[in-house]
Structure 1
Amino acid sequence: MTKKWWHDSIVYQIYPKSFQDTNGDGVGDVNGIIDHLDYLKELGVNVIWICPIFKSPMVDHGYDISDYYEIDPSFGTMKDMDELIEEAKKRDIKILMDLVINHSSDKHIWFQKAMEDLNSKYADYYIIKEGKDGNPPNNWRSIFGGSAWERIGDTNKYYLHLFTKGQPDLNWENEELRNELYKMVNYWLEKGLGGFRVDAISHIKKNFDYVNLPADGPDGLVGAWEYYQNADGIGEFLNELKEKTFKIYDSMTVAEADKLEGEKLRRFIGEDGYFSTVFDFSHAPYRIREEKWKDNYIAMVDEIRDRIFEKQLSSIDCGFLSNFIENHDMPRSADRLIPQEDISFYSETMLATMYFFLRGIPFIYQGQEIGMRDFPKKSIKEFLDVPTYQIYDRMLKEGLTKEEALNKINIESREHSRTPFQWSTQKNAGFTAGTPWFDINPNYKEINVESQREDDASLLSYYKKLTLLRSHEEYKEVFVYGDFVPFYKDKDGIVAYERKDENKRVIVINNWTNKENILEFNDGLKKILLNNYNKIFIDNASIKLMPYQSVVLEIGVK
């Protein structure tokens, strides 16, 4: 494997609307990120991924871009962005931006011109088809709910939008459009970006056999994933994108692409793959508060472990996965993966340790390092996200009561991760001097950076220990390039694995249960590298783990 600068990355994801507001308008901004670069350096990260800050009408919180060459005024100016790149560079931190090129905003000049003249070249920048018998071209459902087609005025033509109707899909079959996108990507790379997280990229190729499929819901629509996720031929577009942009600048690229196995995974992240890395979504579908798992969470743990291990083993000969437990599209990890009565310093540090030393690149989502939590709502009207309302309406059509639908939304909503960052006990959690764009979790007086920063026993301090160990000169090689070997895989509720190379063997053991666990252990302990308890019970033949205890141990090389 050719070693790359990004292999030892520890990435911090920022949702800019909610990170830090500096001008009192209630919305986080670029200057807020600049103000906290020292905090991020202290945390131990060396790459920052920023969710979209391009000009946007914010139908989907910035994932609907109306101008790829401008910063949205709510976030600041291009001068601010240039300063951020420069200030981050001084701290040896690379900046990744979110690249959204499956679709644009319907307010983008290309789409506006397309709608003005359906015979113009811009109409071919989008996917526009004739309707059938007064209906859309087919019965595809948007990923966010409702038809994936929007009728254009009083014509019989429709444009495709896999997400909201304000996000028309771009037509990647059009070479002129592709070159416009590559030109834009290179503009940003020339500014000094380290690279991109590439949004929804698995959808850029569509199968144009627009047939109706059997409905899979009462709305008469169907989620036709096989027609627009990693469809045959997508590799030609992805390879061209890499060759004309990313490869030229030795960029780090993180693809949002699921359902990749075997040779397909190799093509995405192999030695000459389309991208540097892809996310591992193995754990993403699991919610401990769902009826299936409520009284049987250890079975859920074992399933998650098996999925993660399967993905780890299948990727060893391919490349690097991106490992995470939180992001901007998911509820908070403790609420998703730990019984409510067990959420504590120990269970949260266990989750952190469990994923942080997997083979691949660890990501930390803002607020994860201080234990920010979900903020359930009492009414559907308290949510802001357009897709949340679409999902809620679909649940009602499927027969759920309003109470049942709200309860399900509170379990699944991605808005839990978007509440403003909790910096201090001051008004609005220190996020803004104005009125915050979204309600702040009332628990900010107990959970905040200020109360944890100088506390050696805090979750924040533990995350610093994680980053310090993973980047430690003595252990970096084994954590980055070492093999991955599952341990204790038949022990219920235990997630353990070995990282090893010719010089080092490190075992990571996590007790994902609220019970003590005694495991056979005779591997010859050399050194305790990390422990979320103040003590550990090891003898010549066994190790006893307390509830939710995590240990990272160096053991003898065989």
Structure 2
Amino acid sequence: MLNKKWWHETIGYQIYPKSFQDSNNDGVGDIQGMIQHLDELQELGVNVVWISPINLSPMVDHGYDISDYFQIDPSFGTNEDFEELIQEANKRGIKILMDLVINHTSDQHEWFKEALANPNSDFRNYYVIKEGKDGLPPNNWRSIFGGSAWEQIEDTNEYYLHLFTKGQPDLNWENPMLREELYQMIQYWLDRGLGGFRIDAITHIKKNYDYINVPADGPDNLATVWEHYRDATGIGEFLGEMRDRVFTDNDVLTIAEMDVEDPDKWEEYFGENGYFSTIFDFYHTPYSIQQEKYKEHPVTFIEDMKTKMFAKQVKANGRVLFTNFLENHDLPRALNRWIPESEIHFNSASALAMMYFFLRGIPVIYQGQEIGMVDYPKDSIEEYLDLPTYNNYENYLLEGLSEDEALHQINIECRENSRTPVQWDASEYAGFSTVKPWFDVNPNYHDINYAQQKDDPHSLLNFYKKMAVLRKNKAYQETFIYSDTVPFATEIKGCVAYERQGIESIFVICNMTNQPMQVPVASVEEILLTNGETDIYVDGYLHLKPYQGIIFK
């Protein structure tokens, strides 16, 4: 049994601030807009809110390029607005997490500007700057966002490293002076009353600085070499130092964006004394039911996801707590990734929600997920805004896809699908703003919106509220948080079923297909929640309708 921590009882919620709520009618979401909806988040059962970056930024990567760690960007409000948000959230039992972006800064940060202006400055060693070779970059590493990972410094043979856009130069974590600056910044925000951080791109802070070219793996003559800049040997020295300096004594929730593929290292990274409280991992995120290998065989997709999900859950039993999520700001909407388009409706959306919400770990909801927001495919690549979207589109053209084929692929996989403004009501611009938003609203907002679902007891929104109430029920909370996840009825195709074996024995069974399903169970003592009929247990079998989920003792 894990030692109990306050954050174990978390139901999390992610806000992408540009798209949550515009309060001052400039088309961009802001902090006062977040404050307006704290009551709705409280009613949803949320007690931790992670906000994507709101620090000062030129917005090359929508805030993940920070030019001043200590200032809130004016597009979102002021430092005083943010402190008001923390205080108002605390009144409702909600803790606020900032997005901690410390693998890189903006190229507009004073550190970087000073590093370029003065080659003898101490700030030169805050970044990764290397000599080129024969008029070319130091090596042929590819940026995660496409193109070379190196950008030439004007009129020199020197290049700086950027694993993301060229506007995001990587910080040199080998420099203790830099690390000290970052720790002081982290403590500054904790002193404002933060509940903790979601920590961006943290796996990349350690690099293998062996500057040699590797065999190209694409038509751009570049190579993606994860082993050189993701979880590189020695990263634990930095992570452990950061934990000891600013996290441990503050008793905060820290969620690292990272995969830890070796289960033997899970305790080191996010166990009782791990570097972080928990992690967002990506075991399920590269897959979509719209991919060619799944389009004609959607049940195969569910089976593959079930296998991956249960493999992780079983290995985590009694050891660590993952976060469990379906959506975030870097993914297409979950319903489009998990459900055939013609079958997206209340039953499939609620069954998918039940499937993940009661797994061992911390459930996290992404804004709009609770009302069933879906992707908004575009008719032209020009309707997208994100630089990586355009890089991916150009790569598809280089690979030989036609413009129509490339756009089709972008529409399936683009992370901008999750960044359309939240659909609050059926008024113009979906109640997000009174002016044209920074990014187009999905036209289906007349049919899918918060106001429409709020007073409908049979809506997806109110089903999410029911799940939160059940998960927090004192009679079952211990079981839902700490007990083991034991897969059940794995031989039934399209059935995702598991038992939570704790003080109570609770079963979660979801029919993730469009066909009726019979599942053998020994007994049903009490149905705790279902998205369908309750009189379905006959002669030792649950007779589930298509996309019916049930939770029972």
Report the TM-score when normalising by structure 1.
0.98
Counterpart in the other structure of 1:530: 529
* Contact kept? 2:151, 2:162, Cα under 8 Å: yes
**Partner Cα distance (1:297, 1:118) in 2:** 57
Counterpart in the other structure of 2:297: 296
Letter paired with 1:511 = N
Deviation at 1:264, TM superposition (A): 2.0
Counterpart in the other structure of 1:517: 517
**Partner Cα distance (1:497, 1:109) in 2:** 52
Letter paired with 2:382 = K
Does residue 552 of the first structure (1) align with residue 548 of the second (2)? no
* Contact kept? 1:51, 1:98, Cα under 8 Å: yes
Letter paired with 1:513 = T
* 2:292 aligned counterpart, secondary structure: coil
**Partner Cα distance (2:214, 2:313) in 1:** 35
* Contact kept? 1:280, 1:311, Cα under 8 Å: no
Counterpart in the other structure of 1:154: 155
Counterpart in the other structure of 2:342: 341
Letter paired with 2:532 = Y
**Partner Cα distance (1:473, 1:264) in 2:** 32
* 1:245 aligned counterpart, secondary structure: helix
* Contact kept? 2:258, 2:282, Cα under 8 Å: no
Deviation at 1:259, TM superposition (A): 4.1
Matches within 5 A, 1:300-319: 300-319=301-320
Counterpart in the other structure of 1:279: 280
**Partner Cα distance (2:135, 2:411) in 1:** 38
**Partner Cα distance (1:520, 1:293) in 2:** 28
Measured against aligned partners, the alpha-carbon deviations of 1:99-146 in whole angstroms (never above 9, x if no partner) come to 000000000000000010123111100000111111100000000000
**Partner Cα distance (1:318, 1:139) in 2:** 40
* 1:198 aligned counterpart, secondary structure: strand
Out of 529-538 and 368-377, give the one that drifted further. Answer: 529-538
Letter paired with 1:194 = G
Counterpart in the other structure of 1:479: 480
Counterpart in the other structure of 1:389: 390
* Contact kept? 2:531, 2:550, Cα under 8 Å: yes
**Partner Cα distance (1:179, 1:260) in 2:** 29
**Partner Cα distance (2:184, 2:21) in 1:** 31
Measured against aligned partners, the alpha-carbon deviations of 1:223-276 in whole angstroms (never above 9, x if no partner) come to 010001000000000000111111121010000001432222221111100000
* Contact kept? 1:95, 1:195, Cα under 8 Å: yes
Matches within 5 A, 1:52-71: 52-71=53-72
* Contact kept? 1:536, 1:545, Cα under 8 Å: no
Deviation at 1:440, TM superposition (A): 0.4
Counterpart in the other structure of 1:457: 458
Q: How many residues align?
A: 552
**Partner Cα distance (1:494, 1:305) in 2:** 9
* Contact kept? 1:253, 1:275, Cα under 8 Å: yes
Counterpart in the other structure of 1:408: 409
Does residue 468 of the first structure (1) align with residue 434 of the second (2)? no
Letter paired with 1:193 = L
Counterpart in the other structure of 2:324: 323
Deviation at 1:435, TM superposition (A): 1.9
* 1:320 aligned counterpart, secondary structure: coil
Runs of 4+ with >6 A deviation = none
Deviation at 1:179, TM superposition (A): 0.4
Instruction: Let me know the Cα RMSD of the aligned residues.
Output: 0.8
**Partner Cα distance (1:189, 1:207) in 2:** 32
* 2:475 aligned counterpart, secondary structure: coil
Letter paired with 1:427 = E
Measured against aligned partners, the alpha-carbon deviations of 1:75-98 in whole angstroms (never above 9, x if no partner) come to 000110010000000001000010
**Partner Cα distance (1:131, 1:314) in 2:** 45
* Contact kept? 2:318, 2:482, Cα under 8 Å: no
Letter paired with 1:486 = P
Letter paired with 1:468 = V
* Contact kept? 1:31, 1:76, Cα under 8 Å: yes
Counterpart in the other structure of 2:505: 505
Letter paired with 1:535 = T
**Partner Cα distance (1:392, 1:120) in 2:** 39
* Contact kept? 2:527, 2:534, Cα under 8 Å: no
**Partner Cα distance (1:540, 1:515) in 2:** 20
**Partner Cα distance (2:406, 2:267) in 1:** 40
Out of 260-269 and 209-218, give the one that drifted further. Answer: 260-269
Counterpart in the other structure of 2:422: 421
**Partner Cα distance (2:235, 2:535) in 1:** 51
**Partner Cα distance (2:59, 2:16) in 1:** 13
Matches within 5 A, 1:97-496: 97-496=98-497
Matches within 5 A, 1:1-80: 1-80=2-81
Letter paired with 2:338 = L
